[in-house]
Amino acid sequence: MNELFPIILDVSSYILILVLVALGLMIVFGMMGVINMAHGELFMIGAYVMVALQDVGLPFWAGILLAPVIVGFLGLLIEAALIRHIYLRPLDTILATWGLSIALKQLVVLTFGPESQSVTLPVDGSLEIGAFSYPLYRLILMASSVLLIGATFWLFTRTDFGLMARAVIARPATAATLGIDTRRMYRWSFVIGTALAGLAGALVAPIISVDPQMGLGYLVPGFLSILVGGAGPLAGVLVGGAVVGGVNNLLAVWISPVAAMITVYVIAILIIRLKPEGIMGGRRAK
Amino acid sequence: MAFLELRSLVKNFDGLRATDNFTLDIAEGSLNALVGPNGCGKSTLFNLITGVLTPDSGEIRFKGQNITRWPPHKIARLGIGRKFQVPAIFEELTVRENLIVAAKNKSQQEIIAEILAQINLTKDPDMLAGELAHGQKQWLEIGMLLAQAPSLILLDEPTAGMTGAETRATADLITRINRERGMTVLVIEHDMGFIEHLACPLHVMSKGQILKSGNFTEIRNDDEVKALYFGQTEAMANA
Amino acid sequence: MRNNLVALLIFAALAASPLVIGSYWTGQLTAYLVYGLLAISLSLVWGYGGILCFGQAMFFGIGGYIMAVLTKGMILPDLTSSYIGLLAAMAGAALFALALGYFLFAGRGISGAYLAIITLAITLVLERLMNNWYALGGYNGLLNVPPIKLTFFGASFELWDRLPTFYAVLGVVTVVYFGTSLLLKSAYGLKLTASRTHPDRLSSLGYSVLSIRLSVFALSAAIAGLAGAIFVTLDGFASPTLIGFTLSTEVLIWVAIGGKEMLLAAFLGAILTRTAESWLSEIFGNYWILILGLTFMVSVVLLPKGLLATPLEWLTKGKGKRSG
Amino acid sequence: MLDIHKLSAGYGEAMVLHDISCRIDPGQVTALMGRNGMGKTTLLKTIMGLIKARSGQIIFNGAPIEKQPTHLISRAGLGYVPQGREIFSDFTVAENLHLSQLGHNTGAVLPLEKIYDWFPILKERSEQRAGTFSGGQQQILAIARALIGKPSMLLLDEPTEGIQPSIVHEIGLQLRRIARETGLGILIVEQNVDMVRTLAEEVFFMENGAIQERCDIAALRQDDSLLHRYLSV
């Protein structure tokens, strides 16, 4: 029991981070049909914001506030300079954002060097109940992720912005004839998606090693989560993230990380092939 | 046994019944037209026959074989050719290349010059198909059918977007294809002038079923058909 | 006609280049030619077949490993013929592509963005697999792969020296390039264009779109496998990087920058990008990758047909005319 | 107030509208008739900016709108009820209506009470999912949704398609009432002669991407040879 509990917590915290990353990807994919291959790098930049702020001596929590703002602003620039011109050419967005991802990665290498960096834990203690002990920051991380995921769901299902966003997803042309500025909706959705990636990166920075190559390790599982869960309803991300993240982490503990990665990818590919609309159903992407 | 037999075809989309126990027989060598208002299920019917869609229930037999649930390319190989509503030509290929792709065997490729003459495109066989005028695209697609040489051809609004003269020429071409090449033809149309020119049996489709069959004059003077097009109260007032 | 003329001139220039560029660069250029072959294979499947494959290096790697395993005599010690190795590499890659293609395209097949993500995931899986397949050298790969041994009527010699190797590789690339161009100009090329732009229409004419897709996928894999097989003989070793993600995305960049819808542009895209990399990475150092990423991005946005394809098209076809 | 001058538009290479010109005065109810494939829907979509005009001008309330994005055209006072209704079937009725209010937040919008007053059924079922509605109810919702932005002109694309005859007549009468009460101009694409006779004051006949003939409704009531000619039924 005491051995199982930390494993469950580890798996859950990985799933939650994966869902956060996938949620940002999915907002952009669902709204604009854009596959953002640079999403992993935006996640990475979120983590590097923490590295940079630690270097100048700003407190950790300031970083958590600043990272989504900085990465979101970067998202705004990317939308205006790049995505805006090609969002009607979905396959080209894959390539163009791939170019962007290479450039961003290298920019970080040039600024921070290729070696990995670390961010100190803001909270050092552990929660101890009897024989059970678990790092406090990981619990905070999980709680914040749950909160963020909840907030994103609330934004898209309960607010006026969400109503407009869902309308633009369902029938963009009709939404425009009702006076809704679809371009603006696309832009802000992209910003929200990137800001989420930045925040996720900032939150996990203390518990992973931060390096320029870290994006890919979240990008591909993130995409697989979306496709496995189904790109239609938002809840698909939760299911997809749980399947991909859960299987991966459990197998990594029980067998080996290599076998886990191979198994989870193969399972994901099989699900996507056999059930292209995903476990939760919904429309198939263009 | 009819050439093409459609038996109680049912197809639903999200609770909307596109075809509803649709039954129709088409005799070999005949020319038939299917008319009806928008959304009555005509294009769905063609998609069912050509295997693009599979029916929820019912049966399609062609030349005595049950072809229900066959994949589209096998149905095409058995001899059913189709012209789409929006001209479905290969825009990145030239006119001649379009015909070469459509003609599967050598003997058909030899008559490409003849087909070009028939569809009035002799002058520019090496033009990119995407650069043709709209009416010419429609003709090229008919030419592709000739090259494919199926025994049954399905035409979905072959005169959409054509001028009056082009429409009449198309009607003549279709009649000739039917008579001289012995191809069985089933055509969907809105344009009653075109239908009149075809002078063939007519089936009026409404809500996924055949409402009336008959010749042009009978259909034109039928009150139910008028009601379908003009609206109920008007037809009743006229009656 | 003009198309072939321009290609002939370019291949003639390549053939003459060792006279000018010296021994070191001849060796480099040999490797670039092999990358060019890989680029041709991707252009065929992506630009002509409409299948965006994010994992083209898997076929390259499979070809490379098959060649290495056979010519090192790891399976049959008596059967180490280079010819058999090359053939087996092509056949092995093609068979793998057929199986994978059937899985991907049959029935309600996968296309577009989904295909890109899935091929990317598959290539990651394969790379990880090779890293841990210790019988095949694992992370370190297979060392001491022998060079290609050519046998003519009983006489045989090994391609150790740079110049003969260069010309042998150039010969293969030339044959593949012109063979593929010829094929694309035939009725098969028409069908390929038709299946890419309007698959439903093609199946309504009685063609099986699945078999067309499978055939182009397998053919492209065979060419990539051939390239991989030649490559391992040049360096003398096969490693998991051949099969993996990095090379897959690099070849994508070369082909996109060159021009995916034109074999010649894709081929030159690979050679020129690699050449530029050798020169510019010395001048710009680490900034080179940044420049490459940005160039790739800008060329996708502004010149979706490719940086090289636009001027080449103008050269080969003249203004506004189509050579057919 | 809607002045179309030498407008050409189409899809890709195929031009559907050829140098079309027409003028619709404020508060006027005009029907656009013609066979399928003659460009009626294309004309409405071009007015709404859903298809870009190749050449020519569209002047609405004195301002050219042919280069404007769709949402600004909508906010300028053009309401649009598309063919097939295109309501948001996963949203409730209230959400569908609220969405349209959000699109017009810069200007004043019609209070919901007014909408519910005109179409009581929407009030009764305001919390129901729009996808569960019948065709006629969906049509009413689509019209109400377009009216919320207080348009000065309403474009209707085949509102009677797939709807029961009794409801067709009801919708026609209600639209006429609203037009008279608010001075709303209407341009309606319609094949249903009953609807046209109930609602329209003037009829344009369209063929091959151009307006071939126009007549007032009284003339049409007397003589339907035009109907036979342009609809060929």
- Select from B156, B195, B232 the residue whose CB has the most chain D CBs within 10 Å, as the one to mutate to test that interface: B232
Phi, psi of B183 (to 5 degrees): -80, 140
Q: Report which of residues A169 and D222 the model is more confident about.
A: A169
Structural contact between residues D64 and D109, judged by C-beta atoms closer than 8 angstroms = no
Nearest-CA distance C271 → chain B (Å): 28
Which chain C residue has its CA at the smallest distance from A231's CA? C114
Chain B residues near residue D193 by CB distance under 8 angstroms? 230-231, 234
Q: Which neighbouring-strand residues pair with B155? A: B83, B187
pLDDT at D88 over 50: yes
Could B191 and D231 be called an inter-chain contact, meaning their C-beta atoms sit closer than 8 Å? no
Could A163 and D90 be called an inter-chain contact, meaning their C-beta atoms sit closer than 8 Å? no
Structural contact between residues B196 and B216, judged by C-beta atoms closer than 8 angstroms = yes
CA C304 to chain centre: 20
pLDDT band, residue D117 (cuts 50/70/90)? very high
* DSSP state for residue C142 in the 8-state scheme: B
**Residue-wise pLDDT tens digits, A198-224:** 999 999 999 999 999 999 999 999 999
CA–CA gap between residue B115 and residue B102 (Å, rounded): 12
The minimal CB distance from A171 to the residues D86, D100, D102 is found for D86
pLDDT band, residue C321 (cuts 50/70/90)? very low
- Select from D74, D101, D104, D109 the residue whose CB has the most chain A CBs within 10 Å, as the one to mutate to test that interface: D74
**Residue-wise pLDDT tens digits, D24-73:** 998 899 999 887 667 888 999 999 999 999 999 999 999 999 999 999 99
The answer to whether B163 contacts chain D (CB < 8 Å) is yes
Angle at A224 between CA A220 and CA A225, to 5 degrees: 115
* DSSP state for residue C238 in the 8-state scheme: B
Chain B residues near residue D161 by CB distance under 8 angstroms? 37-39
DSSP assignments along A79-103, one per residue? IIIIIHHHTT-HHHHHHHHHHHHHH
pLDDT for residue A33: 85
Which chain D residue has its CA at the smallest distance from A181's CA? D71
Give Rg (Cα) of chain A: 19
Could B126 and C322 be called an inter-chain contact, meaning their C-beta atoms sit closer than 8 Å? yes
Chain A residues near residue C286 by CB distance under 8 angstroms? 106, 109-110
Nearest-CA distance A285 → chain C (Å): 8
- Bridge pairing between strands B65-66 and B57-62: antiparallel
- Select from D89, D161, D232 the residue whose CB has the most chain B CBs within 10 Å, as the one to mutate to test that interface: D232
B78 contact partners, CB below 8 Å, separation of at least 6 = B62, B63, B65, B67, B70
pLDDT band, residue B15 (cuts 50/70/90)? low
- For the four alpha carbons of D65, D68, D69 and D71, in that order, the dihedral sign comes to negative
Structural contact between residues D149 and D107, judged by C-beta atoms closer than 8 angstroms = yes
pLDDT at B199 over 60: yes
Q: What is the mean pLDDT of residues C31-50?
A: 97
The pLDDT mean for chain A works out to 91
Could C290 and A98 be called an inter-chain contact, meaning their C-beta atoms sit closer than 8 Å? no
In the block, tokens 């009978």 appear at B218
- Which stretches of chain B sit within 8 Å of chain C by CB? 50, 52, 71-73, 76-77, 81-82, 84, 88-94, 97, 100-102, 104, 126, 128, 144, 148
Q: Tokens for B9, please give them.
A: 């075809």
Phi, psi of A61 (to 5 degrees): -70, -25
pLDDT at A26 over 50: yes
Task: Write B131-139 long-range contacts (CB < 8 A, 24+).
Answer: B131/D13, B132/B89, B132/B95, B134/B87, B134/B161, B134/B162, B134/D13, B134/D14, B134/D15, B135/B161, B135/B162, B135/B163, B135/B166, B137/B87, B137/B89, B137/D14, B138/B83, B138/B87, B138/B162, B138/B170, B139/B170, B139/B173
pLDDT for residue B38: 66
The minimal CB distance from D71 to the residues A166, A170, A181 is found for A181
CA–CA gap between residue D170 and residue D198 (Å, rounded): 10
CA C152 to chain centre: 27
Walk across the sheet containing B152-156 and list its strands.
B80-83, B152-156, B184-188, B31-35, B202-206, B209-214
Q: What is the mean pLDDT of residues B142-171?
A: 86
pLDDT for residue D227: 75
The pLDDT mean for chain D works out to 89
The answer to whether D231 contacts chain B (CB < 8 Å) is yes
Q: Give the side-chain half-sphere CA count within 13 A for D83.
A: 15
Q: Touch between chain D and chain C (3+ CB pairs, < 8 Å)?
A: no
b/e burial code for range D91-118 (CB count within 10 A of at least 16 → b): bbbbbbbbbbbbbbeeeebbebebbbeb
The pLDDT mean for chain C works out to 90
Structural contact between residues B157 and B188, judged by C-beta atoms closer than 8 angstroms = yes
Q: What percentage of chain B exceeds 90 in pLDDT?
A: 35
Provide the ipTM: 0.86
pLDDT at C110 over 50: yes
Could B231 and D192 be called an inter-chain contact, meaning their C-beta atoms sit closer than 8 Å? yes
Longest dimension (CA), chain B: 60
Could you tell me the residue ranges of all domains in chain B?
28-52+79-237
- Bridge pairing between strands D153-157 and D78-81: parallel
Q: Tokens for C251, please give them.
A: 């070849």
CA–CA gap between residue A193 and residue A22 (Å, rounded): 9
pLDDT for residue B16: 72
pLDDT for residue C259: 94
**Domain coverage including residue D45:** 2-231
pLDDT for residue B76: 94
pLDDT for residue A284: 40
Could C190 and B101 be called an inter-chain contact, meaning their C-beta atoms sit closer than 8 Å? yes
D186 contact partners, CB below 8 Å, separation of at least 6 = D28, D29, D30, D153, D154, D155, D156, D175, D179, D199
CATH number, domain of D12, equals 3.40.50.300
Q: What percentage of chain A exceeds 90 in pLDDT?
A: 74
Chain C residues near residue A262 by CB distance under 8 angstroms? 125, 128-129
List the subunits that have 3+ CB pairs under 8 angstroms with D: A, B
**Residue-wise pLDDT tens digits, C243-268:** 989 999 999 999 999 999 999 999 99
pLDDT for residue A128: 84
Which chain D residue has its CA at the smallest distance from B226's CA? D233
Could D71 and A176 be called an inter-chain contact, meaning their C-beta atoms sit closer than 8 Å? yes
The minimal CB distance from A276 to the residues C110, C253, C287 is found for C110
CA–CA gap between residue A267 and residue A224 (Å, rounded): 10
pLDDT for residue A286: 33
The pLDDT mean for chain B works out to 84
Structural contact between residues B142 and B120, judged by C-beta atoms closer than 8 angstroms = no
Chain D residues near residue A178 by CB distance under 8 angstroms? 71, 74, 99-100, 103-104, 145-146, 149
CA–CA gap between residue A47 and residue A206 (Å, rounded): 9
Q: Which neighbouring-strand residues pair with D150? A: none
pLDDT at D185 over 50: yes
Chain A residues near residue C298 by CB distance under 8 angstroms? 99
Chain B residues near residue C204 by CB distance under 8 angstroms? 50, 52, 72-73, 76, 81-82, 84, 88
Q: Which amino acid makes up residue B148?
A: Q
Chain A residues near residue C103 by CB distance under 8 angstroms? 273
**Residue C114 CB neighbour total at 10 angstroms:** 20
pLDDT band, residue A70 (cuts 50/70/90)? very high
- Bridge pairing between strands B4-13 and B184-188: unpaired
pLDDT at D92 over 90: yes
pLDDT at A1 over 60: no
**Residue A274 CB neighbour total at 10 angstroms:** 9
Nearest CA to A97 out of A114, A116, A121, A81 is that of A81
Phi, psi of B162 (to 5 degrees): -95, 155
Q: Touch between chain A and chain B (3+ CB pairs, < 8 Å)?
A: no
Chain A residues near residue D75 by CB distance under 8 angstroms? 179
CA–CA gap between residue A15 and residue B231 (Å, rounded): 59
Could you tell me the residue ranges of all domains in chain A?
4-212
Could C190 and B100 be called an inter-chain contact, meaning their C-beta atoms sit closer than 8 Å? yes
- Select from D33, D194, D220 the residue whose CB has the most chain B CBs within 10 Å, as the one to mutate to test that interface: D194
Q: How many CB pairs under 8 A join A and D?
A: 67
Q: Which neighbouring-strand residues pair with B17? A: B12
Q: Tokens for B17, please give them.
A: 């019944």
Chain B residues near residue D208 by CB distance under 8 angstroms? 161, 163
C284 contact partners, CB below 8 Å, separation of at least 6 = C291
- Bridge pairing between strands D2-11 and D14-24: antiparallel
pLDDT at B134 over 80: no
Nearest-CA distance D8 → chain B (Å): 15
- What is the SS3 assignment for A142? helix
CA–CA gap between residue D168 and residue C137 (Å, rounded): 77
Could you tell me the residue ranges of all domains in chain C?
47-241, 244-324
Q: Tokens for C323, please give them.
A: 């050579």
Q: Tokens for B36, please give them.
A: 């009806």
Could A171 and D80 be called an inter-chain contact, meaning their C-beta atoms sit closer than 8 Å? no
A164 contact partners, CB below 8 Å, separation of at least 6 = A175, A180, A185, D99, D102, D103
B218 contact partners, CB below 8 Å, separation of at least 6 = B212
The answer to whether A88 contacts chain C (CB < 8 Å) is no
Could C253 and A99 be called an inter-chain contact, meaning their C-beta atoms sit closer than 8 Å? yes
List the subunits that have 3+ CB pairs under 8 angstroms with B: C, D
Reply yes or no on domain B28-52+79-237 having CATH 3.90.228.20.
Answer: no
Q: Report which of residues D70 and A134 the model is more confident about.
A: D70
The minimal CB distance from B128 to the residues C203, C205, C322 is found for C322
Structural contact between residues D23 and D80, judged by C-beta atoms closer than 8 angstroms = no
Helices (H), A33-135: 39-56, 60-78, 84-86, 90-112
- For the four alpha carbons of A239, A245, A248 and A250, in that order, the dihedral sign comes to negative
